[in-house]
Structure 1
Amino acid sequence: MMLKAISLARKISKIEALILTIRKGIIMITDITIRYASNISFKNEIANFDSLGVAGENISAVSWEIKNMKRSDGTLTIIKEMVKKLSTSADIETIYIYIQLSGKQPDTRLIRYKKTWGLLKSRGYNFDFMSNKNDFIFNYGDGLALSGTASFDVSLLDNLSKLIKDEKKIFFAIAPSGKKELEVANIKSELEWMNNFWSLNGVVFLTLGLLDEMDCEVVALGKKTVIQGLK
């Protein structure tokens, strides 16, 4: 009985140490399980991307997974480490975000006035550090689907830790320095947003699983030659 208790205590100690490591922003490559898909259109060991609404021509994927680390605790740290690795071949200063609010919103005058970023601000989030904020409203049955895009300095990624815990459908993207975004007024979906960055030799990041997922797996999607450094 005592041996079982000691074994359990050791496991808990290891998990706590890993959590502390993540919160300090340090990841050793031995802590991560890496998976690769040469083409997301075909069956692979990462995910069924069609079921996630993600599709692109000749797009590859690399995922990094940390076991026993909550989705909300590991997402931003993994993305930062991925960006750091990708930055060795390109100067990356800006990160872009696409968010779609969870659930259907009521079709009211107030919701249409506040839109995505205004509604989030009224819930206590601070996005003053962001630039180029844009809102999109789509009719969704008898309600509305609210989405938004923005950009900010990659060093400020940790400012979104609370949002990551509360909202599931969030995508991030990077593009080589000097590349310009597609006119956001033309973007009608997250898939169009993704394809925009892929056309610029950029990379899109998404987190797999539910908000309360006990393991954290982040996927980087892009052209094979662009993301090969993450393998």
Structure 2
Amino acid sequence: MTNLGIIMTTDIRIASTFDISKGNEIINLAREFNVGGVVLSAASYSVSTEVKKPLAFVLTFIYKAIVGKFPHYDVWLFLGNSATQPDTRMVRYKRLWGALRSRGFDIPGSNEFLEAMVEVSGGLKFFGAVLLSELSIETVADVVIDERCSYIVALPKKINVLNALDMGWSGEMSKDFERLRCVSKKKGIVFKRVGEFDDDERGFTAIALPKIIKELLV
């Protein structure tokens, strides 16, 4: 069942569905998938584009909710190359975060930048994660607008994030579903940006185990 139209005092519109394998208005996966006996729930957070920096506004709300309700969690930006990079000396030198900085995205408030290089047909791809703080939210929001191969991920602090980087991801929930399911089984929460430049609202969709989504929304 989808719960729609829950308006918060922050003007953020929140909706949820208990089981994403059933028809719902929160998430539409483009292909059939096998949930492996695991029920996953979803929630959406959106705000009107009339709000100044709407994505940063929503991400701030989500970040504070996680810090308040899941104090034993860390919040990460997972970022990767959607396109294959040429295998050159400069690409290997800059890697993921150096290339991002050279494009004007300098993420403040964190000294924990992780990344992995994956050799693929025709070149290289880089996948990385950086720990979020309140100082970095506005910049991170700009990054996920510009970079489709990205997720915001909340994980228990004991989880080894490096293990996930070698697997890579596409940034499309339908293609990455098995990875999202693995994160959820470890009690993580995956957030994906929603809303294009011409949409009236922007925000994030979250996927996690039902009890995690329920706690997040309380």
TM-score after normalising by structure 2: 0.72
Kindly report the root-mean-square deviation, in angstroms, between the aligned alpha carbons of the 2 structures.
Answer: 3.3
CA distance in 2, matches of 1:104, 1:66: 33
Q: Which structure has the greater CA radius of gyration?
A: 1
Instruction: Report the AA paired with residue 222 of structure 1.
Output: A
Is 1:131–1:152's contact at 8 Å kept on the other side of the alignment? no
TM-score of the pair, normalised by structure 1: 0.69
Structure 1 unaligned residues grouped into runs of 5+ = 1-26
Residues 56 and 137 of structure 2 are in contact (CA less than 8 Å); yes or no, is this contact kept in structure 1?
yes
Instruction: Kindly indicate whether the alpha-carbon contact (under 8 Å) linking 1:41 and 1:50 is maintained by their aligned counterparts in 2.
Output: no
Q: Distance in 1 between matches of 2:160 and 2:205?
A: 21
Q: In the alignment, which of 86, 103, 126 is matched to residue 106 of structure 1?
A: 86
Q: Against the structure 1 CA distance between its residues 122 and 217, is the aligned structure 2 distance closer, same or farther, given a 3 Å change threshold?
A: closer
AA aligned to 1:75 is L
Preserved contact between residue 74 and residue 154 of structure 2 (Cα < 8 Å): yes
Structure 1 CA distance for aligned equivalents of residues 163 and 71 of structure 2: 23
Corresponding residue to 2:184 among 188, 193, 198: 198
In the alignment, structure 1 residue 149 sits paired with structure 2 residue 129: yes
Q: What is the CA–CA distance in structure 1 between the aligned matches of 2:166 and 2:21, rounded to whole Å? A: 22
The Cα shift of 1:143 comes to 4.8
- Residues 1:212 and 1:167: Cα distance change in structure 2 (over 3 Å): farther
1:171 Cα shift? 0.5
Q: What secondary structure does 1:175 align onto?
A: strand
* Cα deviations by residue, 1:174-223 (Å, 9 ceiling, x for unpaired): 134x4322542664133466445323322111112335544203111111
What is the aligned partner in structure 2 of residue 163 from structure 1? 143
How far apart are the structure 2 equivalents of 1:103 and 1:214? 29
Pairwise CA distance, 1:145: 3.7
Q: Secondary structure at the match of 1:106?
A: coil
Q: Which residue of 2 aligns with 1:215?
A: 201
Does the Cα contact within 8 Å between 2:76 and 2:132 map onto a contact in 1? yes
Return 5+ residue gaps in structure 2 as ranges: 1-6, 170-175
Cα distance between partner residues in 1 of 2:158 and 2:96: 26
1:174 paired with 2:154, answer: yes
* Residue in 2 that maps onto 1:224: 210
CA contact (8 A) 1:86 1:227 kept: no
Matches within 5 A, 1:68-83: 68-69=49-50, 73-83=53-63
Distance in 2 of aligned mates of 1:74 and 1:105: 31
1:230 offset after TM fit, Å? 1.9
2:17 alignment partner, one of 29, 37, 56: 37
Indicate the percent of aligned positions where both proteins have the same amino acid.
Answer: 25
Structure 2 distance, partners of 1:145, 1:151, is: 20
